[in-house]
Amino acid sequence: MAIRIDKELDEFRRIMDVPSTFDEGFRWSALMGAIFVALLMVPGAIYMGLLAGVGIGGAAQWVTVILFIEVARRAHKHLNKSEIFVLFFMAGSMMGGLGLATGRTSGLLWDQFFVQSDAAAANGIANEIPRWVSPNPIDHPESYSVRSFFHVDWAPVLVLAVVGTFLSQLSNTVVGYGLFRITSDIEKLPFPLAPVGAQGIMAMAEDIEAKSAKSAEDNWRWRVFAIGGALGLAFGTIYLLLPVLSGALTGTAIQIFPIPFSDFTGKTGRYLPAFPTGIDWNFGNLIFGMVMPFWGMVGSFVGLLITAVANPILYRVGMLSNWKFGDDTIATLFKNNVDFYFSFHIGIAVAIAVVGFWQVGRQMIHSRREQRARGASAKEERRLLSRVPPGRGDIPWWAIILVYFIVTTIYIGISMGLLRWYHGGWHPDIFRVLWILIFLGAVYTPLISYVTARLEGMVGQVVEIPMIREAALILSGYKGIACWFVPMPIANYGMMTVFYRQCELTGTKFTSIWKTQIILYPIILISSLFFMNFIWGLNPVPSFSYPYAQRMWELDAATRCIMYSATMGEYSMFEEAWNKLYFACGSGFGIILFTIMQFFGAPIMMTYGVVRGLGQTIPHAILGQFVGALIGQFYFKRRLGLRWRQYIPVVSAGFGCGMGLITTLGIGITFLSKSAIKLPF
């Protein structure tokens, strides 16, 4: 049976072609760029994550790139697209060093909050959290009273952060490259969504190279980028700059658009019981909806509508029994999670994983048949394994395998040592965890990484088997919560394949990336730790100064406690939330929905969108994304055709840059105002 070609994904595939030559992108200017990001962008990323729950990873990247392009131009230097890509990658790595790219700042700031949270105390977890996660505030109150991570009580935490960051970056970079070799060089998968991220880089390079061109069309990327930048500056002034400056100067943040969202659940509960309603006012949602595949956005909206119909029905039949009229979005989501969606979402995610494995297996069988039809021999396949484009800067296979083996072994060794320290000796439960670590490192991680790499290469999707770590720990029979906090050899390296594809599309040597990683590691650690400590010293985290963290972190803590309580040996919230019937319903519903939509020839991205839309955590952003998808599909695409798919990624990059510039300005003023020393006269 022939593999059906999705028309929408085919549009993405045709945006860019791989160049025939590769250039060295690493220059010492990358070091200066890393220092620039460390001093100006990292504190902004932490602050905006706490304030609005948004990251400035993309914005930091574009601000850095534009600044260095302008500096180089005034020094009569030329930055090629490879050098621009390395700067772009460097800034993104800085933002992602300790969880900053997502805007969640889930590092030390989260750890000090969780050990003091109401959820941890209510579930009896607070006093059981290991020392390498955060010191107990009752036994070690001094570091919490002065709010400083640079205290002897936090030494074990800092040591583990240093080692963990190094191992994570090493394995992610090297193993991700190996998966790219397999899926791109050998299996020739198209990676349809990779050009979306590479278009902005080409815009910067084209601007440099086309300054003397007379044709305006030759310079379209820069003009489109500038339009996106203007939109980002305008919206960022109202959405982020105004509340940041008003809060810094007057003590009261003025919000024209509520952050993180407007919540209508307390009023609409009369008509839509147990369904959270509200609007996320971030204009970036509209642009995101235009950038992503249209049918994926339609699918998410359809999934949201199904949830809006299902929740009132589930409430009336008694399955969402904890919800009551007047609950806001946070309370509604948490209660629904405990009553029904915790188990149902796991089932839905299992359905996605099963379908992902099926698609990968189907494609592999199809490829194998084609090879047999061509008469490809085993010797020819081995030659494909070692053949790489000349000048790309590849490394041998033995190095990739060796790195993965060493990193996995170190992870297991550190975990065993930490558990022995926690128990004061070789407790029998430790060896139960050992078998789990070996399974995750030797079996699960290679399998899920390869399947994800293939799925990214085919349809631009990520597959995850949900709760595999959690299920393994629960089934191990371990008693206590220390097992949840050891560094496990579990990861999904398949997502890195898209990055290497973008690197290839821009003609950048892979050695440039590895050199940049070496100089980034110490800078990431020092800047992230320093500014987390600085921000914690300004105000408690969370507090009224950080509305997103104050509103959302307690929900996150309560959700995590559901899992952590499962291994405590007593009746736990996990037992209340886990329901095998709901899990089976979620799995069956997801697989049946996939089957029906595939039978009727629905677009691949719509199929994934519908199933994922059923499992949305906070649905308020979906409406804006759907509106953006409609505008892009039925207005801009009709006017511009395939060029629209080239334009909108550049607009999105410009918008992020504009938001980043205005945010950096506001945060700089805030830090100055909070750091000022008041004189007594």
Structure confidence by residue, pLDDT tens digits, 624-676: 889 998 998 888 888 887 678 778 877 887 887 787 778 777 777 776 666 55
Predicted local distance difference test score (pLDDT) of residue 459: 63
Q: How far is CA 19 from CA 186, 390, 391, 519, in A?
A: 18, 12, 12, 27
Is residue 501 within 8 A of residue 191, CB to CB? The reply is yes
Among 656, 652, 528, smallest CA distance to 58 is for 656
- CA torsion sign for 51, 52, 55, 61 is negative
Rounded CA separation 46/36 (Å): 16
Q: How open is the CA angle 52-56-58, to the nearest 5 degrees?
A: 145
What phi-psi label fits residue 490: left (phi over 0), alpha (psi between -120 and 50 degrees) or beta? beta
- CA torsion sign for 348, 354, 355, 356 is positive
Q: What is the pTM of this model?
A: 0.71
Give how far the C-alpha of residue 25 lies from the chain's centroid of Cα atoms, to the nearest Å: 25
**SS3 state at 319:** coil
What phi, psi does 107 have (nearest 5°)? Answer: -95, -130
**DSSP one-letter code for 278:** E
Q: How far is CA 406 from CA 6, 181, 412, in A?
A: 40, 20, 10
Among 6, 86, 12, smallest CA distance to 513 is for 86
What phi, psi does 54 have (nearest 5°)? Answer: -120, 145
What phi, psi does 262 have (nearest 5°)? Answer: -90, 130
Residues forming beta bridges with residue 318, ordered by sequence position: none
Residues 6+ apart with CB under 8 A from 210: 218, 219, 222
- Structure tokens of 473? 């720990």
Helix H or strand E segment including 279: strand 278-279
Predicted local distance difference test score (pLDDT) of residue 2: 46
For 177-205, b/e burial (b = at least 16 CB within 10 A) is bbbbbbbbbebebbbbbbbbbbbbbbbbb
Rounded CA separation 342/232 (Å): 37
Predicted local distance difference test score (pLDDT) of residue 203: 60
Helix H or strand E segment including 593: helix 580-599
**SS3 state at 107:** coil
Predicted local distance difference test score (pLDDT) of residue 216: 43
Is residue 378 within 8 A of residue 618, CB to CB? The reply is no
Among 95, 72, 32, 31, smallest CA distance to 663 is for 95
The residue type found at 118 is D
Token pair 């220059």: residue: 27
Predicted local distance difference test score (pLDDT) of residue 371: 63
Predicted local distance difference test score (pLDDT) of residue 1: 41
For 522-556, b/e burial (b = at least 16 CB within 10 A) is ebbbebbbbbbbbbbeeebbbeebbbbbbbbbbbb
- Structure tokens of 346? 């796991």
3-state secondary structure 523-582: HHHHHHHHHHHHHHHHCCCCCCCCHHHHHHHHHHHHHHHHHHHHHCCCCCHHHHHCCHHH
**SS3 state at 23:** strand
| Cβ neighbours of 443 (radius 10 Å) | 10
Rounded CA separation 478/484 (Å): 10
- For the chain (length 681 residues), average pLDDT per consecutive 10? 50 60 77 78 76 64 72 73 81 60 57 88 86 86 87 89 86 89 77 67 60 50 81 87 77 78 86 88 86 81 86 89 85 82 78 72 68 58 60 84 93 92 86 90 85 74 69 82 88 86 84 85 83 83 79 82 78 70 86 79 71 66 88 86 76 79 74 57 42
pLDDT per residue over 335-354, tens digit each?
Answer: 887 788 878 877 877 777 77
pLDDT per residue over 221-241, tens digit each?
Answer: 678 878 888 898 899 888 878
Predicted local distance difference test score (pLDDT) of residue 456: 78
Predicted local distance difference test score (pLDDT) of residue 495: 83
- Structure tokens of 412? 């297991």
| Cβ neighbours of 474 (radius 10 Å) | 16
Token pair 């921000």: residue: 535
Residue extents of the structural domains in the chain: 7-673
R_g of the chain computed on alpha carbons: 25
- Structure tokens of 190? 């198209």
Is residue 245 within 8 A of residue 585, CB to CB? The reply is no
Among 328, 402, 288, smallest CA distance to 653 is for 288
**SS3 state at 333:** helix
Q: How open is the CA angle 282-609-648, to the nearest 5 degrees?
A: 50
Q: How far is CA 65 from CA 81, 105, 519, in A?
A: 11, 24, 18
Predicted local distance difference test score (pLDDT) of residue 263: 85
Rounded CA separation 132/415 (Å): 11
Rounded CA separation 299/609 (Å): 4
Residues forming beta bridges with residue 262, ordered by sequence position: 279
DSSP H stretches of helix in 123-239: 142-146, 155-180, 194-209, 220-236
**SS3 state at 263:** strand
C-alpha atoms less than 13 angstroms from C-alpha of 336 in its C-beta half-sphere: 27
Is residue 24 within 8 A of residue 655, CB to CB? The reply is no
Residues 6+ apart with CB under 8 A from 147: 536, 537, 540
**DSSP one-letter code for 149:** S
3-state secondary structure 410-477: HHHHHHHHHHHHHHCCCCHHHHHHHHHHHHHHHHHHHHHHHHHHHHHHHHCCCCCCCCHHHHHHHHHC
- Structure tokens of 525? 């650690």
**SS3 state at 262:** strand
